[in-house]
Structures are given as structure tokens and as C-alpha cells.
Structure 1
Amino acid sequence: MLKQLYATWALCLIAMLGFAQDHVTIRVLDQNKNPLAGANVTIHSTTRLTNEDGMASFQNLENKNYTVQVSFVGYRENNLKFNPSRTNHVQVVLQPNLVAVADVFVYATRAKENSATTFKNLSKEDIAVQNLGQDLPYLLDQTPGVVIGSDAGAGIGYTSMRIRGSDNQRINVTLNGIPLNDAESMGSFFVNLPDFASSAESIQIQRGIGTSTNGAGAFGASLNIQTDALEQQPYAELNNSFGSFNSWKNTVKAGTGLINNKYAFNTRLSRITSDGYVDRASSDLKSFYVDGGLYTAKHTLKATIFSGKEKTYQAWNGVPEPLVQGDESGLKDFAVNGLGYAEGSPEYVRLLESGRTYNMFTYDNQTDNYTQTHAHLHYTSTLSEQWNIQAALHYTRGAGYYEEYYENEDLAYYGLSNINIGGETIEQTNLVRRRWLDNHFYGGTYSVNYTPSANFNFILGGAYNQYLGDHYGEVIWAQYASNGNLGDKYYFNDAKKNDFNIYGKADYRFGKWLANLDLQYRNLYYKGNGVEDGDDPVDFEANLNFFNPKAGVTYFLNNLSNVYLSYAFANKEPVRKDYVNSTGGTLPKPEKLHDIEGGYRFRNEQFNIGANLYGMIYKDQLIFTGAIDDVGGGIRKNEPYSYRAGIEFDGAWKINSQFTWKATAALSQNKVVTDDKTTDIAMSPSTILSNNFTYKPVQPLSFSLLSKYVSRMYLDNTSSDYKSINPYFVHDVQAVYSFSAIGIENIALNLLVNNILNTKYATNGYIWYEPDMGGGAPLSYNMLFPQAGTNFMLGLNIRF
């Protein structure tokens, strides 16, 4: 019934078009006054393509000032202001080959408009509406195929994100073209960059393999984040939010505007705190951002430094499923056989008396502590009408630890000698330990853009990056310290990873066709030495060479719609844990992926519709087994053959000046295929749907109903309902009111009420395995990450 309802919504979005009343015609010409067909013309979030005469029309415009934004591959973007009451014909002339300052640092790594890539762009306005303090993945929740979640249950602290069933280890993230993914785990931990969304100009989400970019290969999606664009005038902002669970966000931003038509500086200072929905799952997050740039007609030089410091109380063990579902008998079994609690013991009683916010940890400083600082230096130069170059240097410094309290630990495990007290040999102790990660990541990226004509564009780019990282552990307190000294390391291992890539990308327009070709070569050298926790050896070395080709074609049906088809092949290396957890001297294999994408796009004043089919065929995909290691990381193994195939829909319908309807749908099959059976890939739902109704009774005021449905997710690859997360359907409401007063440029009030029906649901989980001491099969218990019931965030943003 639910799927039929959403299918009906989707069909409604492609109903008949409305009739125009007031209108304006935009004509786009090149520098020689020749019309440009297929240029993108945007007015007030509505985009249309110019016809063969270079013209695009817009209807139902109000009597007020508008900005028309015009872009075309190989030309510099042009923005003009107009008022339809004064003119209904606007002529825009584009100059070739100059990359606009607004996107100069992401030009080479982003999918261009109408390219044969499945992608979605979020503007600064889209980001600002959702930016109330929750982590960046929560801003992407209404995009196709996305599933988000939070360890603490309320979106602040450690969060998770999957796109097309692929977790963040397969989602490539770049900041102005610089890789963010951790070189070893390949995950992107936005908790280390709190409130970075407040410095984001736009985000592009590429689903599938996407375009050639820098950093770890994309196997599920790519996120390309562009930081704030150049602002011509000075400004200052105060952005504050308060909400449930004592959650606070305080942000101060300021910028000089353009000084002497050459220089500009921006800064931001943020703090986000929350007690969390789960017991003691608190977060204390701080960050800053500073940039300064030199901007001339042909040169741009911009330096950026930003840093984040996080302290989060550990909640990565999750909550036992019987406790989430109110199963008392199952909970008692888990307490005794899973956790080893004696009936009637304090921990046994606490577990049985807790609700779905239970946290296994009680030590006051059971926290994760990490600081990450980034420095970027970007340069771009327009050498001539045909040539443009971009280069960047980057350095990231990361260091931190998580602290844990353990009882009855073997002294020998920590390299400590047994001690004798009063004739009794002491072999165990209570202790507090810290496990450290201390790393450096640095390198350079470049791209050369050559545009000999309006119909042809070529980019040569690449990068070289090096990662150096130390992993070690310390005991900072012990009931029986034995022969240990403060600062001793009970384990130590280091890693070195070199990452080189070079790529070439070409776009060629002929008639109604646009062809894309993208070829990338990537070399990786990765080595680890030392011992891991528990004196397990770390000794691996890998030298990998990858060739990743991509090709696609777009056909323009008319100036409003086009179809596209693409094929891409990609390789991806295993992560550090895959190497460390490998057994028998056999290293994990790199993954290989064939990705076929085909889609249809339609845009006019009222509708913005995209629909696509995809098939992702994997060889040796590293798939989660459902189990986790001792720090909450999933354990994976190579599966010889698996695939993901599906259909995605992303639509928006501006019904009239007051009502807007947006919806997305992602229907898929995600399978592991073996000789004797075919089962679902873990944590890959077959149906993901979202819906957004927005009503604007007057222009400054809007109300939105946001809905999200996610079907059953299996915790392992057995397709067993007993090892799965139930489907969930949640609804949020949002009200936004903005106005100007007493000389203040903009005052915005933003109220977001999440989960208005108080739905009890979970978004993530794993399987707790406990060996059977009698020699039988291991006992298994589901652990889930429940999300908060009804909760709210209220924001007040002031811009001067």
C-alpha cells in the first residue's frame, strides 16, 4: 500500500503543466553574438535550457527584482538583475573559458550540467534551511537513496550515512577538490569538522562511481563540497540554535567583502553541544574556519585554514534489540549469556530497568577525543581564452584518542608483570587505557582546462598525496600498575600510504549530442608495521595499480529535456581493518565495479524531474558480515560476485506560488550471489522514499512536511528477518520565517520538529557474537542504534 501511495505521488509530479501569465524571455549569446543552445538559465531556483535560438522563457514572475544566472560548458557564468515589470526581454552575453570565482576550486571534479552522470546539487539556500546543528549527513536526508543515522540518536556526534546501500567508506568526499576521506579507514568523519555546513556554498552528490576525482575511489557515491564563494560586500552573521536533549549550536561568521577590488577575508567560529538521546551520549564540538584570498581578472590565490575538535561520550555499542522492543525474556538471556552478568548484580538490574536509551558504558570519561586541522592553498590562473590552470597544496594534521575503563584485565596483555602481594599472585587489574591515532596527510592537486571552442572542453588533472599514521595504546591508570610507567605504549604500529592519480576528461557537443570521456590511472602503495592491541602482528604491504575508465553520452530531446547513458569501471583498495583482520597470510583483494547508468531529465518553470536506472556489478566486493570489532567498526570479507540494481526518481513540482511538492524514490535489489543461494547485501534496503510538501502562505513564511520511509535492512548477508532492522516511516515538520528590520539585512526563525508521530525506530545495527564455551555455535544477539522520538531544534539566524 505504501509503495502504491508513493508511486501515485511520483506520477502526480509529471502531470500537465500550468499556464503562464506574466513572463520574461532570456536570450543567451556568445561573445560573437551567436545564440547558445542548451545553456542553463536559472531564475529563483527554476532552471531551463535555451532553445536553438538561445532563448528560454519564464512565466508567473512577480513584480520584484530577480537575478538570472546563466551558465554553459566552456563559458564563464553570468548573473544579471532585472524586474519583469520593467522589461520582459533580457539579453545575456557569455564570455568563454573563464571559470567563475564561485566554483573555481571544484570545477575539475564536479559533474557538469547535462553530463551523463547521476547527480544532485544542493545550493547554499538548501543547506541553510536544514543547518540547525545536526551533522552534515542530515542535510542530505531528502536526496535519493540516502539513509542516515546517529549513535547518540539525535544527529549530533557520530553519524552514519549510506547511499545506495554503500557506507561512508565507499563515499568519496572532497572539500574544494581536496580529499577528506581518511586514507586508512576511507571514512569521512564529519564529527571532526562540526558545523562545516555553515561554511558550505554548495554540495554535489554524485551517485554511483561518478567523475574522476581525488582521494579514495567512490563505490557508492561522491560528495563534492564547495566552501563559501566570494562575497562582494562586508557581512556578519549570528546563527544560534537550541533544541531537545540540551542541544545548542552557536555560530559567528564575518567577512570583509572585496577590499580594493582584490582582497577578501572570511572567518567562522562555532560550538555545538548536546546531551544526546542515548544515556550519556554527549557531544562537545568546537570548530573554526578562516580564509583569505587575492582575486584579480586572471588570477585567484586563496588560503584556507579550518579545524575541528570533538569530545563525544562513546555510544558505539548500541542497544540490545530485546531492550528496544520490550522483550524481557530475550533481555535476560542476553544479560546472562551475552554479557555474562550474574542475575541480581547491579549491572544486570540496571540493564533490565533501562529503556531504549540504555548505554553500556558508565565510566565518566569513556570518551572519544580528536582534533583535526586542515590547511589548503588554492591557485587558479586564466592564461588565455582557451587555457585555465588550477593547483592546490594541502596539509591535514589529526591526533586524538578514545579512553576506556576495563575491569579484570590480564596484566600480561599490557606487557606488565604479575605482582605478589602478601603471598598472593596478582595477574589481573582494573585499568584505564587510551588508544591513540596520530597522523599527517599532505599533498598536491592540479588541473589544466583547455577549451578550444564552445563545443569542446578538455581537463587534465591529478594528485599526489602521502599519509603517515601511528596507532598506539597507553595505560594511564591501573589498580595494580606493576612495572608500568606513564607514557609506556603497550602496542604500537605505523602506516605509510602514497596515493598518485592522473586523469583526463573531455566533453564534446555536436548537434543534439554531448559526449563525455573520463580516464583515470591510480597507483597506491600502502604498508603497515608493528603490533596491534593484544600483541597481534601488523605486517602488510600492498602496491596496487588501477585504471578507471568512464564514458557517457547525453541526447537533448528539446530545450527542456534530455536522456543520458554512461558506463564506468572502478577499482578500490581494502581499508586498514581489512588488512589487519586478514588471516592465514592472505591479504584481502581489491574490489572491482562495473557501473551502468541511464536516465531522463526534464526541467521547466514548474517541474524539475530526474529518473534513472542503474546496475552496479561487483567482483570481490568487501561486504560486512554483520559483526563488529572492539571499536564499533564493521568486519568485512570479499564476496566473489554481488550486484546492486535499481531505479531512482527525484522530482519537484511548483504547483503555484504557494505550494511546492518534492519527492524521491529509490527502489533496488542488492544481492550477494553464491553457488547455492542469492541473499541480500547487509544494510542495503530495497526501498527508500522521501517526500516534502512546502506551503508558503506569504513569501517570507513557509511550512514543510518532511517524510522518510526505509524498508527492512538485514544485519548480515543471510536475509534472515531475525537478523534485521524493521522498516520505518518517520515525519518531520518545519516552519521558516525570514524578514528584514531596523537595518538588519535578514532575520530568520527556523523551527524543526523531528519524528512528530514519536515513531520507535532504528537506523543502524550489528550482530553481537558470543562464543559458546561448550563448543557449539556462537551465540548471536542483535544490537541496534535507536533514534530519538519527537524532538525539536529552534534556530535564530541574523545577518548584517
Structure 2
Amino acid sequence: MKKKNILTFLSLLFTLSAFAQYQISGTVTNKDNGEGLPGANISLKETGIVVVSGENGFFSVNDLKPGTYTVKADYIGFVSWEKKVTVHTDVQLDMQLEPRVFLAEEVIITATKAHEKTPLTFTNLDEDQINRENTGKDLPYLLSSSPSTVVTSDAGTGVGYTGIRIRGTDLTGINVTLNGVPVNDAESQNVFFVDLPDLASSADEIQIQRGVGTSSNGAASFGASINIKTDKFMPHVYLELNNAAGSFGTIKNTMKFGSGLIKGKFSIDGRLSFLNSKGFVDRATARMKSMYLASAFYGKKDVVKLIYLHGTEKTYQAWYGIPKDSLETNRTYNPAGSIYDTGGNLLGYYDNQIDNYEQTYLQLHYAHQFSDRTNLITTVFYTKGKGYYENYKNHKKFSDYGMNDTVIGGDTITRISLIEQKWLDNDFYGINMYLNYDAGNLRLNFGAGWNQYLGDHYGKVIWAQIARYGDYDREWYSGTGNKMDMNIFAKANYAFNKHISLFADIQLRAIHYKIGGTDDNLKDVTQQHTYTFFNPKAGVFYQVNKQHKLYFSAAVAHREPNRSVFLDADPGQEVKQERLIDYELGYGLQTTLFSLDANLFYMDYKNQLVLTGKINNVGAPIMTNVSDSYRAGIEMVAGFSLFKIVDWNLNATFSQNKISDFTEYVDNWNYWDDPENEPYQYEKNLGRTDISFSPDWVAGSNLGVTPFKGFTVALVTSYVGRQYIDNTSNSERSLDPYLVNNLRFFYKIHVKHMRSLEFLLSLNNIFNEQYETNAWVYRYVYDGTEGELNGYFPQAGFNFMAGINLKF
């Protein structure tokens, strides 16, 4: 009986152990200095499980059955670590990787990136943060939780044409780079993320610098910069199938793949994406696709990486907004493509009122390491863009298109309805070079860049009501843009000791810009402009102790006017360059459970270009230099970690954004009836006013709860204060404050023969807030009564996106 009990006990013990699940955890560190290696790949060969080390190199592999596993750690620039481990209880491993002479591709963006002790204000987003947010919306929406950030969407869904403002500065003042290559359009200075659909799926790291930031290439950093680095090196073969679907017919399909390291030297990575949405606003459809391919060679002292990125978009226009008086009755109304008869009656909408554009990026990066301290990076790039937007035009004058009036049955016809296409065909190419030196306490970066932009702007009439003008494509204007931009810079970070570091950065930028041909109003726009800018920056960083830090910096930036400013200016009107001096004073606190970053900023503008209501001699609005304006405020970012279950991240910005002395102009429509009815415009000095689209308050909260391993639910809240849509500080012409709450679910599990299986669910605007994020207004006076035309951009109420990611 006793033996039987023992056998029963042993059998039960064996059965329990068979069902027991254990954990392998530990750290991946640099053998030479003991520093943790975040981003290392840890794999278990027998299972196909691959995990990535996190902060300080920590990793864990959970839910393992008893047995023997081959554990391997890979990190670029280090010799692989491998060991067989028998698991019958939890196992702790300390993986010390030995550095090898192997140049990491991360050096490609070293020169333009702000580092830990750079005395500037910046936020980093890593691959994990990007992936959790990426359910199909455009890149600006993935950045919307960063401080002082406001995003907008023409279609109301975050898909298609989207925009972002940081500290009130829109994308024309934000320097955007992709692997150090300029993304801003050279002429408009704008960035159209719609042309690069699902770029987030190829982003490994994004750094947002608020204020002037470090010297970079391309358009001026006139308020912020966004530096995007694409996919990092993956040592193993991988395949990802990421799919999402949700409200408004939104569907996103993405496939990512990679060869891993081939023969220890080569790799190939790629991505295919398809994204479609019907939009919240009527007919605001978006059909987009993109491709990313990268091939790399890794040598002992060299890295060569060729990147191909192609995107196409076909979106129905939703950029006119809707009249203010329709917000309560018909929030989805879209006037784009309206077809009217001669009596002004609406007949319907033109089906092909679309924006159709494609863009291709080619980048060749070469990095050479001269020594452990010195490397040289060379990037050659070419960007090709071509496309058009198509408009149905009601009852336009023949003369507007350079055509003569026609006579039918003895009647002279002066107006005609037609379909036009406005084309842009451009080439952008250049070279960047960086020499980097890092001796620990001294980091030096020397850089130079040259780029050339060639653009053709032309319009076609592709159909007209009268057959005489409808049988062929008729070009009615043709203009050119030729812009050369070059810069050189030098940066230095010097640590006197473990507490004090000094930073200095000087940049010389030269621009030559030629415009030729005619514009769409048939005006000759031939002109040229030359600028030379000197942009110094300096700062000090003080590490008080392990928990506290302080920094101060001052930085100068200049910006040249863009193409539309030059074209809209009256002959002889002087348009001045803009200047910004940015002062930043920051404090940081870091403890085990709590972190706080706070900074004061003062951005002093000279000759900032703003809309005043003033028009040129043909009635088009023009940008006007205002002598003095500023943005001043405080930004705060806090984080709490409780019981390893709750993570709460908050940010808030309070600011004042003012024009010191503003004069408004309002059109007198009676003047157009009879020039004797002067004045041409009514003029009024308003003194000190608020800068448009610059809310005093912006705040965000991300409250995440992880009740068990792999599962997180987060309540994401955004608050944006009142935004004036012109510079008159009139609340009648403003966007109301809004508070939007999103609920996000993320569940990651490890499945045999897979790296992971991820489920995502995003419930957006859960309280169905009705709000608008953008608008425009045009004011006039007629017969003594003031009126206005306007367009507001309403955002979707409650909506959702659900996704599943299969990672092999």
C-alpha cells in the first residue's frame, strides 16, 4: 500500500511538472563596459520564439514547458551569444556579448539626431511604441500623443490628407527627414504624408525635436523637426502579416519580410501596404498603396544600404471643408465636385474630383569606419514626384483659360463649364556627407549637404461643354521651379566631467531659387531669389545626479518664403525672410516609479509671415511680414509606474502665442461693382492678437493597465484649447476646445513556430465628441454689411479599428 502511494505521488508529480510552465529571463549586456543592449534579438531555436530586449537589455521568455532549449542572442556589431539551457525551473541568464569590428547602420542618422545629453527639447518614439499605435492612420496621428501636438484630417478619419502642428507650427515650418534625407517639398515647404502611405510600418525610430533643434538638411526647422529612421537590421529571416479593418470601410493590409543576415554580410527587407477608406466626410475616399525595399551589405568597417520607397495615392478631394452653418445639420457635407446649372441649382457631383499623385524615394547610404571613434557617412538620394488634381469648374470665363469667347447661333458665349487638371512633375536629388568623431567625452559632427529641385507646374483643360474645346487636352499655363539648397554645419558636445556638458552647433545655408513661366491666372511669374543664412546654436547640460538634470539652449533659424508667397505678392512688393531665436530651459527628474520633464520656451520671431486678409492687385490673399511675434510657454511630461501593472503618462502645454501689432484687412465688395466705391479694402489696427491655430492649452494622457503578461488596455485622452482660425482673436472665428478619449487594447502572445501573435483594437472618440480640428475663413463687406465664406473640417464621432499581426 505504501509503495502504491509513493508511485501515485510520483505519477502526480510527473504529471504536474509536464504541465508546468517556466520562464527564461535576464539581461543582454556589452561585455566591455556592462551597458545594457536594448533591441537585441533573443531566440529559442527549437520553438521559433524570438523576443527583443527592452530597456537596459532586459528580456523574458514566458510560458515554457520543461525541456532543453538553445538560447541565442544577436545584436548588430556584436558576436552572437549561444547556449543550451535545460529548463525545469525559472532560469536567469546574463548574456555578455563581445563587440566585434562591425559597423552598425545606426550611424547613418547620428549627425542629425539629438542625444541623451544634448540640451534640446525632444521626444523619442521606439519601434514598440510605433507598432502599438499603428492601426492604419497616417503618421501624424501616431505622433499625436507627443507634447504640444495637434493633428487634423481632411476626411475626418486620420486617413488621406492629414496635418500636424507642433507648438502651433504647421508642416511648412517643421523640418522632416527620412534617414537624414529631406522630405519637405522644396517649393511649398510642406509635407504630404498621404504620398507615403503606411510609412509607420517601416519606421524603426522617430525623434521629434521641438523648437529649432539640431542642424539638418532641407527646409528650415522653424518650430520643430521630425526625424524618421526606417527599419533596423534584423539578423533572422522574418515574415509579418499585419491586417486591420474598421469604420468607414477602412482596410489596411501590410506584409513585411526580411532575409536576415545572409552569409554574415547581406540582408534584404521589404514591405507591401494597401490602404483604403471611404472617409467620414461624403465621398472622401482614399485608395493608397506603397512599397519599401532595402538591401544592405555589412562589412567589418563598411555598411552599404540601398533603399527604395514608392507610394501612390488617389483621394477624393475633401480639402474645402464645410460651411459653418452646416456643422449642426449636415456634418459630412462635402462641396467638392459640385455641378450646377446656370440657375445655380445643384445637379450632382463630379465622380473624378480627385488628387492623384505618386512619389518614389531612392536612397544610397554608405558608412565607413576609420577607427573606433571616427566614421564617415555619405548619402546620395533621388526623389521623383508626379501627379495632378482634377476639378470640375462651373461656368468659368473663357479668358481665364486663355481662350476666346465663342459665338453660337449669333449669341456670344463668354462662360463655359469644364474639367481641369493641375499637374506637378518634379525631381529632387542631392548628396549629404557627415564625418562623426566620438571619444566619449567629446563628440564632433561635421556635415555638408547639397540638393537640387526641378519642378514643372502646368494645367490642362481635359474636357469642355463646347466640343470645340473638349476634343483634346489643352494646356493653359506652364511654370517652372528651380531651387538649389546647400549647407555645411559643425556640432560639438564636450563633457567637462560627469556633470557638465557643452553643446555648440553652427550652420551656413545658401539658397538660390528661380521661378519661371506662367501661373494658373496666366500671370508671368518669372523671378529669382538668393539667400544666405547663418544659424548658430549653443547650450549647456547639467547632470545634477542620477535623478536630476538641467539644460539651457539658444538657437537661431532663418526661413525663406515659399513659392506661393512669391507668386501672390504684387510686383515690387518686398517679401522678407523670417528669423526665429528659440530659447529652451529644461529640467528632468527620473526615479524608479516617477519621471518628470519640464521646459520653458520662448520663440522670438522677426518678420513672421502671416495672413492678414490683405489681397494683391487681382484679389488673391497674400502673406504679410509682421515685425514682431512670439510663442512662450511651459511644457510638462510626467510618467508614473505602479506595481508593474499601471503606466500613466501625461503631458501638458500652456503657452501664449502673440503678434505684437496686427492690422487686419477686409475686402470691400462694392469696389468690385464700381471702383469709385473706395476703399479697396477696409483696414483696422487690432494691436496685440493671438497667432492663428495656436491654442493656449494642449494636454494629453495615456493611462495603461497591464493586468497580465502581454495584455494592455489604455485610455488615451487629448485636450486642445480654443484655436483662432485667423489672427484677429475673435471667438466667432475660432475652433471650440475639445476633449477626445480613445480606448486601445493590445494583446501579444507567443505561439509555437511564430515570433508572436498580436491583436489590436482601437475604439476612437468613445464619447462621440463633435469637434473640428481645422478651418479657413474669408471676410468681406457688401453694402455696409459684413459677411464671410468659411470651411470647417469636422472629425468622425465614435469609430473603431481592429487589427491582427502575425509575426513569423
TM-score (ref. length: structure 2)? 0.85
Alignment of 1:234-245 (within 5 A): 234-245=237-248
Q: C-alpha separation between the residues in 2 aligned to 1:720 and 1:289? A: 46
Three-state SS of the structure 1 residue aligned to 2:215 is: coil
1:616 is matched with which residue?
Answer: 603
**What's the CA shift for 1:637?**
2.1
The residue matched to 1:169 in structure 2 has which SS?
Answer: helix
8 A Cα contact 2:339 2:350, kept in partner: no
Out of 371, 375, 395, the residue aligned to residue 362 of structure 2 is 375
CA distance in 1, matches of 2:710, 2:345: 55
Supply the AA of the counterpart residue of 1:469: G
Offset at residue 559 of structure 1 (A): 2.1
Partner of 1:740: 750
Shift of 1:385: 2.4
Instruction: Spell out, residue by residue over 1:622-650, the C-alpha distance to the aligned partner (whole angstroms, 9 max, x if none).
Output: 12447999xxx995321110000111112
**Aligned mates of 1:60, 1:699 — CA distance in 2:** 11
Deviation of the 1:155 alpha carbon? 0.5
Q: Could you tell me which residue of structure 2 aligns to residue 312 of structure 1?
A: 315
Indicate whether 1:270 and 2:273 are aligned.
yes
1:426 to 398, 413, 416: 413
Residue identity in the other structure for 1:107: T
Tell whether the 8 Å contact from 1:439 to 1:468 is kept in structure 2 after alignment.
yes
Secondary structure class of the residue paired with 1:399: strand
Quick one: structure 1 residues 752 and 514, their matched pair in 2 at CA, closer, same or farther if it must change by over 3 Å?
same
Q: Is 1:469 matched up with 2:455?
A: yes
Match of 2:136 among 106, 110, 133: 133
How many angstroms apart in 1 are the aligned matches of 2:388 and 2:103? 42
8 Å contact 1:626–1:767 — kept in the other structure? no
Q: Give the direction of change, closer, same or farther, for the CA distance of 1:484–1:795 in structure 2 (3 Å limit).
A: closer
- Alpha-carbon deviation of 1:537? 2.5
Task: Give CA deviations for 1:333-378 in whole Å, capped at 9, x if unaligned.
Answer: xx9xxx999999644xx9xxxxxxxxxx821101101010110000
> Could you report, residue by residue, the CA deviation over 1:103-126 in whole angstroms, capped at 9, with x for unpaired residues?
222111100112101001000110
What does residue 513 of structure 2 align with? 526
- Cα 1:25/1:419, change in 2 over 3 Å: closer
Native 8 Å contact 2:519 2:525 kept in 1: yes
2:566 maps to which residue?
579
Taking the TM superposition and a 5 Å limit, the aligned residue runs for 1:393-408 are 393-408=380-395
Q: Is the Cα–Cα contact under 8 Å of residues 29 and 37 in structure 2 kept in the other structure?
A: no
Counterpart CA distance in 1 for 2:543 and 2:798 is: 46
Q: 3-state DSSP class of the match of 1:764?
A: strand
What is the match of residue 788 of structure 2? 780
Q: Any gaps of 5 or more consecutive residues in structure 1?
A: 1-22, 49-55, 351-360
AA matched with 2:689 = T
Deviation at 1:607, TM superposition (A): 2.8
Would you say 1:727 and 2:742 are equivalent positions?
Answer: no
* Secondary structure at the counterpart of residue 159 of structure 2: coil
- Whose RCO is larger (CA < 8 A, sep 6+)? 1
Report the Cα distance in structure 2 between the residues aligned to 1:664 and 1:179, rounded to whole angstroms: 29
Q: Number of residues paired by the alignment?
A: 734
After superposition, give the CA deviation of every residue in 1:630-687 in whole Å (9 maximum; x if it has no partner): xxx9953211100001111122211122111011111110000018621100000010
1:68 & 1:492 partners in 2: Cα distance? 59
Asked if 1:558 is matched to 2:545, the reply is yes
Corresponding residue to 2:104 among 100, 103, 110: 100
How far apart, CA to CA, are the structure 1 residues paired with 2:236 and 2:330? 60
Is 1:509–1:515's contact at 8 Å kept on the other side of the alignment?
Answer: yes
Alpha-carbon offset, residue 40 of structure 1: 9.5
CA separation in 2, counterparts of 1:170 and 1:683?
A: 13
The answer to whether 1:295 aligns with 2:298 is yes
Which of these residues, 747, 758, 762, is aligned with residue 752 of structure 1?
A: 762
180-189 or 381-390: bigger deviation? 381-390
CA contact (8 A) 1:59 1:605 kept: no
Cross-structure match for 2:433: 446
**1:282 equivalent among 281, 285, 298:** 285
| Corresponding residue for residue 5 of structure 1 | none
Q: Deviations over 1:492-515 (max 9, x none)?
A: 110100000000011111111111
CA–CA distance in 1 between the matches of 2:361 and 2:60? 46
- Over 3 Å counting, the alpha-carbon distance change for 1:268 and 1:90 in structure 2 is closer
What SS class does the counterpart of residue 396 from structure 1 fall into? strand
* Secondary structure in structure 2 of the residue aligned to 1:245: helix
Q: Deviations over 1:407-442 (max 9, x none)?
A: 111112112122222111112111000011110000
**Cα distance, 1:481 vs structure 2:** 4.6
1:637-648 → structure 2 map (5 Å cutoff): 637-648=624-635
Q: Which residue of 2 aligns with 1:51?
A: none
Q: How far 1:560 sits from its partner (Å)?
A: 2.9
Cα separation, partners in 2 of 1:99 and 1:690, compared to 1, 3 Å: farther
Deviation, 1:539, is 2.4
**1:324 counterpart = 2:327:** yes
Alpha-carbon distance in 2 for matches of 1:81, 1:590: 59
Structure 2: which amino acid aligns with 1:707?
A: T
User: Residue by residue, what CA displacement relative to the aligned partner does 1:713-740 show, whole Å, maximum 9, x if unpaired?
Assistant: 0011111001100000010001111112
Instruction: Pick closer, same or farther for the CA change 1:536–1:100 going to 2, 3 Å.
Output: same
Structure 2 stretches of 5 or more lacking a match?
1-24, 41-51, 663-685
Q: 1:765 aligns with which of 755, 765, 775?
A: 775
Distance 1:110 1:628 in 2: 41
The question of 1:459 aligning with 2:445 is answered: yes
Residues 184-208 of structure 1: CA deviation (Å, up to 9, x unaligned): 1111110000001111101000000
TM-score by length of structure 1 reads: 0.85
Residue 713 of structure 1: aligned partner:
723
Contact 2:463–2:471 (8 Å) recurs in 1:
no
User: 1-side partners of 2:392 and 2:27: how far apart?
Assistant: 69
C-alpha distance in structure 2 between counterparts of 1:231 and 1:538, whole Å: 50
2:676 maps to what in 1? Answer: none
Q: Deviations over 1:108-150 (max 9, x none)?
A: 1100112101001000110011111110000011100000010
Deviation at 1:41, TM superposition (A): 8.0
Name which of 485, 498, 505 aligns with 2:484: 498
Give the match for residue 169 of structure 2. Answer: 166
Residue 386 (structure 1) shift:
2.8
| Cα distance in structure 2, aligned partners of 1:468 and 1:272 | 30
Per-residue deviation, 1:779: 2.5
Matched position secondary structure for 2:449: strand
Task: Report the counterpart of residue 177 of structure 1 in structure 2.
Answer: 180
Equivalent in the alignment of 2:218 = 215
Residues in 1 aligned to 2:475 and 2:316: alpha-carbon distance in whole angstroms? 24
CA distance in 2 between partners of 1:537 and 1:694 (Å): 58
Instruction: Indicate conservation of the 8 Å contact 1:419/1:482, yes or no.
Output: no
1:385 has 2:395 as partner: no
Task: Identify the residue that residue 796 of structure 1 maps to in structure 2.
Answer: 804
Q: After the TM superposition, which of the residue ranges 458-467 and 412-421 deviates more from structure 2? A: 412-421
Tell me which amino acid in the other structure corresponds to 1:292: S
Q: Does the aligned pair in 2 maintain the 1:127–1:139 contact within 8 Å?
A: yes
Instruction: State the Cα distance separating 1:561 from its structure 2 match.
Output: 2.7
Cα distance change, pair 80–569 in 1 and its aligned pair in 2 (3 A): farther
Aligned to 1:677, the other structure's residue is in SS state strand
Superposition deviation, residue 584 in structure 1: 4.0
- Could you say which residue in structure 2 is the equivalent of 1:251? 254
Distance 2:341 2:476 in 1: 31
Q: Aligned AA for 1:518?
A: D
Alpha-carbon deviation of 1:321? 1.2
Aligned to 2:189: 186
Q: Secondary structure at the match of 2:200?
A: helix
Q: How much has 1:486 moved relative to structure 2?
A: 2.3
Q: Is the 8 A contact 1:269 1:287 kept in 2?
A: yes
Q: Out of 406-415 and 173-182, give the one that drifted further.
A: 406-415
Quote the sequence identity (%).
Answer: 40
